[in-house]
């Protein structure tokens, strides 16, 4: 009753005056995902003067931290339109539960869209996770809290910063457009949501579902001083679940045009899935990306991580893989993951060649109810000398400000996590 009253109150506050609420159902929902623990960054391993971005004398640092992982809240509703049609909407917003002075609350910053659903499937417009990223639900069962491979290694060769606009609003072509470079990486992140996009999800036939998404080329430009490019992106996947839900597998393909190099497209494919044996649930993931280096849009400033070498043509090739396991123990489960990012290959400078990393985590998560879980665990990332992988939600590094590690610095954490869904 209290949730129903809260839903009515929030929906009423958001409604325009004199407009009746027509949805047959409107719901307030959310997830609070927090962790408390000891976090450490090891001493960077690359000496200054050989491509390192750590000041001379930089050592290790340990600190206590309260972190949040993708906490969110939102509104969603559905309405029967007749003839087998259903209209729906969702508006989901980030909930920065800590370091709020650095993280703004941005309305509709997460999965937010409006669509029509019927026998033909689900067609919607807005901002949403891609078919590529949706596949992670098939295998990533080995994470306690949010310190795991999907928030650090898998699909994360680029940056945790804002997806780039190559025409300078937040791009990566040098000078005032250096926002992406300062966090390292190349191209449009394969893990990131598509915005200004069209999405389609097919009905499920014999356990098979197809998904597709197109991010429009709204950043295309034809004006003095603008970059002569036409950026857009496609993502598609097919997945199957069967054997009473025990078996699942999916494959995805992405194509991101004009993000790394003018007139060329970065591409990637992934296979992810798992099998529940009863005594243990096993998940596996493998993915490969290819970044094109031609007319390079990445300026390779001194603080960058990895990417195309200025003036060099060819491809950069990336490979990542991971394995996850969940073993039921009473009302909870032991969960663990191991994932690897291989060294980048191809058009990569010698100073950036040692760019791989390994991540592993282990812990126990106890389910108190369908809504509340408490976990305890340990997670660590071992960065090679030119790598700076970390988890989304990690605290500031040795300089007390940036969150991307100095190259070769290994982040690790002992933690207790609490997750509540409403």
Q: SS3 sequence, the chain?
A: CHHHHHHHHHHHHHCCCCCCCCCCEEEEEEEEEEEEEEEEECCCCCCCCCCCCCCCCCCCEEEEEEEECCCEEEEEEEEEEECCEEEEEEEEEECCCCCCCCCCCCCCCCCEEEEEEECCEEEEEEEECCHHHHHHHHCCCCCCCCCCHHHCCCCCCCCCCCCCCCCCCCCCCECCECCCHHHCCCCCCCCCCEEEEEEEECCCECCEEEEEEEECCCCCCCCCCCCCCCCEEEEEEEEEEECCCCEEEEEEEEEEECCCECCCEEEEEEEEEEEECCCCEEEEEEEEEEEEECCECCCCCCCCCCCCCCCCCEEEEEEEEEEEEEEEECCEEEEEEEEEECCCEECCCHHHCCCCEEEEEEEEEEECCCCEEEEEEEEEEEECCCCCCCCCCCCCCCCCCCCCCCCCCCEEEEEEEEEEEC
pLDDT at position 407: 87
* Confidence band, pLDDT 50/70/90 cuts, at residue 324: very high
Given a cut of 90, whether residue 186 has pLDDT beyond it is no
Q: Looking at the DSSP assignment, which residues form a beta bridge with residue 375?
A: 365, 417
Report the percentage of the chain scoring pLDDT > 90: 57
Give CA–CA dist 340/319, Å, rounded: 8
Q: What are phi and psi of 271, to 5 degrees?
A: -130, 130
Report the percentage of the chain scoring pLDDT > 70: 77
Among 110-124, 220-234, 335-349, 355-369, name the one with the lowest average pLDDT: 220-234
What is the arithmetic mean of pLDDT over 120-140? 97
Q: How confident is the model over 58-83, as pLDDT tens digits?
A: 999 999 999 999 899 999 999 999 99
Residues 6+ apart with CB under 8 A from 244: none
- Domain boundaries, given as residue ranges, for the chain: 2-421
* Confidence band, pLDDT 50/70/90 cuts, at residue 185: very low
Asked if CATH classification 3.30.420.40 holds for the domain at 2-421, the reply, yes or no, is no
* Confidence band, pLDDT 50/70/90 cuts, at residue 313: low
* Confidence band, pLDDT 50/70/90 cuts, at residue 234: very high
What is the arithmetic mean of pLDDT over 167-181? 34
pLDDT at position 175: 31
Global pTM?
A: 0.84
How many Å separate Cα 6 from the centre of its chain? 30
pLDDT at position 16: 37
Given a cut of 60, whether residue 257 has pLDDT beyond it is yes
- Say which residue, 166 or 139, is predicted with more confidence: 139
pLDDT at position 298: 40
């Amino acid at each position: 009753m209290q949730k129903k009253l809260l839903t009515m109150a929030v929906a009423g506050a958001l409604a325009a005056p004199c407009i009746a609420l027509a949805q047959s159902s409107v719901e307030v929902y959310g997830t609070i995902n927090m962790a408390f623990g000891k976090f450490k960054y090891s001493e960077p391993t690359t000496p200054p003067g050989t491509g390192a971005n750590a000041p001379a004398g930089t050592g290790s640092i340990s600190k206590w931290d309260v972190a949040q992982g993708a906490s969110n809240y939102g509104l969603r509703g559905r309405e029967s339109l007749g003839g087998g049609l259903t209209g729906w909407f969702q508006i989901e917003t980030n909930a920065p539960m800590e370091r709020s002075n650095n993280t703004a609350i941005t309305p509709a910053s997460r999965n937010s869209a409006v669509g029509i659903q019927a026998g033909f499937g689900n067609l919607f417009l807005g901002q949403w996770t891609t078919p590529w990223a949706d596949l992670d639900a098939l295998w990533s069962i080995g994470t306690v809290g949010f310190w795991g491979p999907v928030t650090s290694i898998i699909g994360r060769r680029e940056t945790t910063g804002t997806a780039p606009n190559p025409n300078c609003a937040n791009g990566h072509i040098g000078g005032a457009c250096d926002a992406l470079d300062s966090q390292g990486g190349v191209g449009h992140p394969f893990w990131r949501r598509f915005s200004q996009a069209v999405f389609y999800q097919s009905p499920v036939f014999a356990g098979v579902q197809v998904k597709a998404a197109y991010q429009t080329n709204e950043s295309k430009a034809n004006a003095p001083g603008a970059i002569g490019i036409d950026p857009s992106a496609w993502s598609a996947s097919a997945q199957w679940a069967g054997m009473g839900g025990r078996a699942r597998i999916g494959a995805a393909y992405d194509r991101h045009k004009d993000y790394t190099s003018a007139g060329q497209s970065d591409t990637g494919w992934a296979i992810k899935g798992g099998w529940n044996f009863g005594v243990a649930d096993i998940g596996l993931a493998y993915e490969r990306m290819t970044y094109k280096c031609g007319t390079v849009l990445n300026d390779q400033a001194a603080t960058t991580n990895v990417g195309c070498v200025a003036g060099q043509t060819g491809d950069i090739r990336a490979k990542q893989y991971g394995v996850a396991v969940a073993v039921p123990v009473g009302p909870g489960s032991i969960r663990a993951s191991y994932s690897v990012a291989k060294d980048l290959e191809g058009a990569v400078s010698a100073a950036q060649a040692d760019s791989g990393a390994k991540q592993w985590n282990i812990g126990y998560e106890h389910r108190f109810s369908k809504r509340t879980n408490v976990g305890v665990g340990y997670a660590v990332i071992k960065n090679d000398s030119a790598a700076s992988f970390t988890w989304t939600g990690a605290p500031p590094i040795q300089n007390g400000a940036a969150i991307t590690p100095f190259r070769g610095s290994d982040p690790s954490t002992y933690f207790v996590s609490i997750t509540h869904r409403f």
